[in-house]
Amino acid sequence: MSTINRRQWLRTAGLGSGLALLGGIPAFAKSEALPFPARPLADVIRLSSNENPFGPSPAVREAMQKAFDHGCRYPYSYQRELLNLLAKREGLSPDHIVITGGSTEGLKITGLTYGIENGEILAAEPTFLAMLNYGEQFGAHINKVPLDDKLRYDLDEIEKRVTNQTRLIFLCNPNNPTGTIVPADKLKDFCQTVSKRTVVFSDEAYYDFITEANYPSMVELVKTGHNVIVSRTFSKVYGIAGIRIGYLIARPDIAARLRKNVVAFTNVLALFAAKAAIEDTQFYEFSLQMNEKAKAHIYASLDEMNLEYVPSHTNFVFFKSGKNIAQLNREMREHGVMIGRPFPPYLDWCRISTGTMDEVKLFSSALKKVMS
């Protein structure tokens, strides 16, 4: 199913972005069992890491079980089938794809490749730090640009800061932890223009959750030969964060350079899991639907408590609690809920992941008690 068709499915199901009323989300009939039931509630529910609580799907589990017969083999000979599948999906040749041990490895090897020997990396603050922290270990200088007043990447300010020392610009879009996206036209124009001066990295870990019609992936610029790298992951909508597999998409010469720095790679079970996940469109669509339903419940709860939040294009919501996040973390943990870590300088904001409906209801109950 194509990206556009997936979004058309969401819109016809009444799940367009921006819905904040539970009544706008179609519920499963009481007599209808969920096709992918949630696991039992834990003593402490984890809404801190943006995971999909419904995964892995039965199809992925079955594929991994069958893969045990190949567990005695090194994974290199098994990656070609996945490379071909990903290349077909993205509309590129396989030499554009670099398979990694989760997209985090892709971020880290890019930080190493472009940050070594005092290379400058431009990025927003706050944003996802895997690339930036790793690059710093190898001598990178991180030039941090504050978000704009809508908690989005300030592309105008980032462009102003590009110099001959800038080796990479990191975009996390949708951004973690804010859940915001850059306006489509501005994003494409920025990447086309700035990639003539330096490399642009677009982290699209949460791209699948965007319901804005025809929102572009920067893979389109890779196809036209721009200096753009895109990262994707199987950790989020596909629900296999613990299996560790992701990939980078880049022009073949850039991909070859990045491939030399891959360290962890991945394993046979992950390769089989990823192939099954791509083909399991039922689980994919179900995950998107349940995410919107859980997100709507969170919005409704925050509205009831008059707490400010940012409409999200991801599987988490960033909201202003008014409490120091360290204190809020402790208090929520006492009520059996794990929430997101601190994201300076927004230390009185909280990132909460969407979980199952039972989990987000427990979150809402706990937050009301803590905020009362």
- pLDDT value at position 116? 86
pLDDT above 90: percentage of residues in the chain: 87
End-to-end CA separation in angstroms for the chain? 46
- pLDDT tens-digit profile of 92-146? 999 999 999 999 999 999 999 999 888 999 999 999 999 999 999 999 999 999 9
Is the pLDDT assigned to residue 195 strictly greater than 60? yes
- pLDDT value at position 31? 34
Is the pLDDT assigned to residue 298 strictly greater than 80? yes
- pLDDT value at position 356? 96
Is the pLDDT assigned to residue 82 strictly greater than 80? yes
Angstrom distance (rounded) from CA 175 to CA 171: 8
Is the pLDDT assigned to residue 264 strictly greater than 50? yes
Is the pLDDT assigned to residue 5 strictly greater than 70? no
What is the bridge-based pairing of β-strands 246-250 and 120-125?
unpaired
Q: Contact 145/122 with Cβ under 8 angstroms?
A: yes
Question: What is the CATH number assigned to the segment(s) 3-54+281-371?
Answer: 3.90.1150.10
**In residues, how long is the chain?**
372
Q: Contact 154/124 with Cβ under 8 angstroms?
A: yes
The one-letter amino acid code at 45 reads I
Angle, CA 147 vertex, CA 191 and CA 150 arms, to 5° = 100
- pLDDT value at position 30? 39
For the chain, give every domain's residue range: 3-54+281-371, 58-279
Angstrom distance (rounded) from CA 159 to CA 356: 40
Q: What is the 3-state secondary structure (H, E, C) of the chain?
A: CCHHHHHHHHHHCCCCCCCCCHHHCCCCCCCCCCCCCCCCCCCCEECCCCCCCCCCCHHHHHHHHHHHHHCCCCHHHHHHHHHHHHHHHHCCCHHHEEEECCHHHHHHHHHHHHHCCCCEEEEEECCCCHHHHHHHHCCCEEEEEECCCCCCCCHHHHHHHCCCCEEEEEEECCCCCCCCCCCHHHHHHHHHHHCCCCEEEEECCCHHHCCCCCCCCCHHHHHCCCCEEEEEECCCCCCCCCCCCEEEEECHHHHHHHHCCCCCCCCHHHHHHHHHHHHCHHHHHHHHHHHHHHHHHHHHHHHHCCCCEECCCCCEEEEECCCCHHHHHHHHHHCCEECCCCCCCCCCEEEEECCCHHHHHHHHHHHHHHHC
Angle, CA 108 vertex, CA 102 and CA 112 arms, to 5° = 150
pLDDT above 70: percentage of residues in the chain: 91
User: What are the C-alpha distances in Å from 148 to residues 6, 142, 145, 154?
Assistant: 30, 18, 9, 5
The whole-chain average pLDDT of the chain stands at 91
- pLDDT tens-digit profile of 231-242? 999 999 999 999
Q: Which CATH number fits domain 58-279: 3.30.429.10, 3.40.50.150, 3.40.640.10, 3.30.540.10?
A: 3.40.640.10
- pLDDT value at position 107? 97
- pLDDT value at position 288? 98
> How far does CA 327 lie from the centroid of its chain?
26
Is the pLDDT assigned to residue 11 strictly greater than 70? no
Average pLDDT, integer, range 285-305: 98
Domains 3-54+281-371 and 58-279 in one fold: no
Is the pLDDT assigned to residue 14 strictly greater than 60? no
Residue 125, class by beta-carbon neighbours within 10 Å (0-12 exposed, 13-18 middle, 19+ buried)? middle
